[in-house]
């Protein structure tokens, strides 16, 4: 019932709050004997870390993890793997003055409505700080999935779009602080984010993702279709408001004769010559790259005065303090990749257990 766990065969449970003692994740279902590359995990975490550029929140967290269980002599043991992150730069004082007020479009009111009280320090459990645990789990999942390759990038910030059809490497994505692989678009996006931040405002945008080298046959037929699980994974991210698989909404503008993906025999086996399906048909991977899009809203916390109410419903003005991201898009990229890795790892292990798809005899 409580919704802090995700996945069935590769099952992750995250815990912790923004300004509590620590955050962490328990991964259950990781096969034994996997040599975990801890440096690669830390590199993933460093991509999500706050304060990595002038475009993101200036909270300073090292995001170094401790392994509490499930790991021995450099390998996973097959028992629950627990990773812990101690909060180092928690500063709840900035939130004292607004703790009785509801930030418009944040989770303050709904947490009170559900639980009757809430941890008001920096958004508590609703803070994107929770995603440090997901990125750690995603970094473990990636190691299980090699040679599958997951790359996400910023496609749009506000009205500024990069050209369609990009298919970048992670190295190229990480060359710009905005994580947009098209240099001219990246420069314009960066300038826009700085302008928005100087006005105390926030701005949203869109992340594109691709998963390459996916074997045909991953995914379940009905309720756990691969794209349904990807949609849930992406929409579980804080500030995520939309998900599209393959051609998405734009595909509705085409006729079937243009939209269908023709099949062809290739050296790798049966593949398509187009990819409007985004690598998934009938909920199951077809061997083409899996492509998807995630929309993120402009974040709720603004340094501009807004109308709101207090816990008793009295009208009030709110002007939050604290450290905030004016645009979550650059930091959302590793989160999107991590959630994609969790979904793929779950379906990979399910296929392995059932002997389906790449594990057919
Ligand atoms: C990387 C990242 C950073 C975020 N930083 C902030 C922030 O600084 N301030 C804020 O109000 N919301 C921030 N958010 C979004 C909130 O966590 C989120 O809007 C809030 O929990 C309410 O949930 P909802 O938007 O999904 O409804 C961030 C989200 C992400 C993905």
Which pLDDT does position 74 carry in this prediction? 94
Sign of the Cα torsion 269, 346, 292, 46 reads negative
| Per-residue pLDDT tens digits for 14-42 | 999 999 999 999 999 999 999 999 999 99
- In three-state secondary structure terms, 323 is coil
Alpha carbon nearest to ligand 1 atom 12, residue:
299
| Per-residue pLDDT tens digits for 135-185 | 999 999 999 999 999 999 999 999 999 999 999 999 999 999 999 999 999
Cis, bond preceding 147 (omega within 30 deg of 0) = yes
- For the chain, the average pLDDT equals 95
Indicate if ligand 1 lies below 6 Å from the C-beta of 239: yes
Residue linked to tokens 């990480």: 174
Residue-by-residue DSSP string for 194-242: HHHHHTT----EEEEEEEESPPTT-S-SSTT-HHHHHHHHHHTSTTEEE
Q: In what order do the strands lie in the sheet with 240-245?
A: 160-161, 149-157, 205-212, 290-296, 240-245
Ligand 1 mean position to 45 CA, how many Å? 18
Residue-by-residue DSSP string for 22-62: EEEEEEE-PPTT-B--HHHHHHHHHHH-TTSSTTS------
**In this structure, what CATH number is given to the domain that contains residue 184?**
3.60.150.10
Ligand 1 mean position to 328 CA, how many Å? 7
Indicate if ligand 1 lies below 6 Å from the C-beta of 238: yes
**Mutate-to-test residue for ligand 1 from 328, 330, 331, 332, highest number of ligand atoms within 8 A of CB:** 328
pLDDT grade for 324, boundaries at 50, 70 and 90: confident
What 8-state DSSP symbol labels residue 299? Answer: P
What percent of the chain is predicted at pLDDT more than 90?
Answer: 90
Indicate if ligand 1 lies below 6 Å from the C-beta of 331: yes
Nearest atom within ligand 1 for CA of residue 300: 11
Nearest atom within ligand 1 for CA of residue 240: 26
Ligand 1 mean position to 237 CA, how many Å? 9
| CA–CA separation, 294 and 86 (whole Å) | 29
Q: What is the 3-state secondary structure (H, E, C) of 102-131?
A: CCCCCCHHHHHHHHCCCCCHHHHHHCHHHH
Indicate if ligand 1 lies below 6 Å from the C-beta of 300: yes
Which pLDDT does position 21 carry in this prediction? 94
Indicate if ligand 1 lies below 6 Å from the C-beta of 26: no
122: Cα separation from own chain's centroid: 20
Domain range for 176 is 5-359
Looking at the structure of the chain, the number of domains it has is: 1
Nearest atom within ligand 1 for CA of residue 322: 8
Indicate if ligand 1 lies below 6 Å from the C-beta of 328: yes
Ligand 1 mean position to 3 CA, how many Å? 18
Residue 62 pLDDT greater than 90, yes or no: no
Indicate if ligand 1 lies below 6 Å from the C-beta of 128: yes
Alpha carbon nearest to ligand 1 atom 19, residue:
239
Question: 0.95 cut: is pTM over it?
Answer: yes
Indicate if ligand 1 lies below 6 Å from the C-beta of 55: no
Alpha carbon nearest to ligand 1 atom 20, residue:
106
| Per-residue pLDDT tens digits for 98-133 | 899 999 999 999 999 999 999 999 889 999 999 999
Ligand 1 mean position to 299 CA, how many Å? 6
Alpha carbon nearest to ligand 1 atom 21, residue:
126
| CA–CA separation, 312 and 169 (whole Å) | 51
């Amino acid at each position: 019932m409580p919704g802090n766990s995700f996945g069935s065969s590769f099952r992750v449970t995250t815990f912790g709050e923004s300004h509590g003692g620590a955050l962490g994740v328990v991964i259950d279902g990781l096969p034994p004997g996997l040599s975990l590359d801890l440096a690669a995990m830390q590199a993933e975490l460093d991509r999500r870390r706050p304060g990595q550029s002038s475009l993101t929140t200036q909270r300073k967290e090292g995001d170094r993890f401790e392994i509490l269980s499930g790991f021995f002599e450099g390998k996973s043991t097959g028992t629950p793997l627990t990773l812990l992150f101690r909060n180092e730069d928690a500063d709840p004082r900035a939130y004292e003055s607004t703790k009785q007020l509801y930030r418009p479009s944040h989770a303050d009111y709904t947490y009170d409505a559900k639980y009757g009280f809430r941890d008001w320090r920096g958004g508590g459990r609703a803070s994107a700080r929770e995603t440090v645990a997901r990125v750690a789990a995603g970094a473990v999942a990636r190691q299980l999935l090699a040679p599958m390759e997951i790359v996400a990038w910023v496609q749009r910030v506000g009205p500024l779009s990069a050209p369609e059809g990009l298919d970048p490497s992670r190295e190229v994505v990480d060359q710009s602080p905005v994580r947009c692989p098209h240099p001219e678009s990246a420069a314009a996006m960066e300038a826009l984010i700085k302008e928005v931040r100087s006005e105390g405002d926030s701005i949203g945008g869109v992340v594109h993702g691709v998963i390459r080298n996916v074997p045909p046959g991953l995914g379940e037929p009905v309720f756990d279709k691969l794209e349904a699980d990807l949609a849930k994974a992406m929409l579980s991210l804080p500030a995520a408001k939309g998900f599209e698989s393959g051609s998405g909404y734009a595909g509705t503008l085409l006729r079937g004769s243009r939209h269908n993906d023709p099949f062809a025999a290739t050296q790798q086996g049966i593949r398509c010559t187009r990819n409007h399906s985004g690598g998934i048909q009938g909920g199951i991977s077809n061997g083409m790259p899996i492509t998807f899009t995630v929309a993120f809203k402009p974040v709720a916390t603004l340094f501009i005065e807004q109308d709101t109410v207090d816990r008793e419903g009295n009208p009030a003005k709110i002007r939050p303090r604290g450290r905030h991201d004016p645009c979550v898009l650059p930091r959302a990229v590793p989160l999107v990749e991590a959630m994609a890795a969790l979904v793929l790892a779950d379906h990979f292990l399910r296929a392995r257990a059932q002997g389906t798809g790449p594990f057919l005899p």
